Structures are given as structure tokens and as C-alpha cells.
Amino acid sequence: MTMLHVPPDRCSTPLLTALCATDASQVRLDDTVREKDQVIATKDLEIAELKNKMEEMSAEFGEMLKETLEKMKDSVEVTSSTFKNDTGVPVIRRLEEFNIASAYGAEAKK
């Protein structure tokens, strides 16, 4: 629907007054729609930027988890190889010997 634009100084008759009011309302509506479109565009841009930031942070966190897993794996391997010695004595046996030695050592001090 095309609107007939009537200059405000020509709104002398009731019909022209109604057309002027309609024209002014249309102008306000157009301005409001334009402002809302700008707000929506700004929010869409902000959402896109936040999504990118979240993806970057997710990738960084994944890399941190990978590094931590590798460090833990290395630590377990080192600990595992430390408990294996040349004699092949199981860890439990070595702990039992340690407890016996500690008990005798504590009794000797009394």
C-alpha cells in the first residue's frame, strides 16, 4: 500500500488532517522498525562473537585436558617403572619388609 505524503502545512481539511496523522504514524513506525532492526543486527553480531569465543575456549580447554592426560600417563609410567626393580620383588613384599623393619626400629629405640 503506497502512502500519499502530505506536507504538514497543507493539512487544513479533515481529510488532509487524517492523511497527515496517518503519514506521521507511518514515519514513526518506519523509524521504530529501523531502530529495532539495528538492535537485532547488533545483538546477532554479539551472539556470533560470543559463539566464536566459546569455541576458542572449548578448544583451549580440550588442549589443556589432553596435556593433563599426557602428564598423568607419564607419571603413571614413571611410578610403575619405579616399583619394578632388578630383583623382581613385588611391591607388597617390599612394603611388608619396610613395616617389619620399621617395627623393629621403633622397638629398638624404646
List the one residue out of 1, 41, 42, 5 whose CA is nearest residue 22. 5
Q: Is 12 helix (H, G, I), strand (E, B) or coil?
A: coil
The pLDDT value given to residue 38: 97
Number of residues that this document lists for the chain: 110
Q: Looking at this protein, which amino acid is placed at residue 48?
A: A
Model confidence pLDDT, tens digit, residues 20-39: 778 788 889 999 999 999 99
The pLDDT value given to residue 44: 97
Q: Is the pTM of this model over 0.75?
A: no
Residues 90-107: b if buried by 16+ CB within 10 A, e if exposed: eeeeeeeeeeeeeeeeee
Domain ranges of the chain: 12-109
- Average pLDDT of every residue of the chain: 78
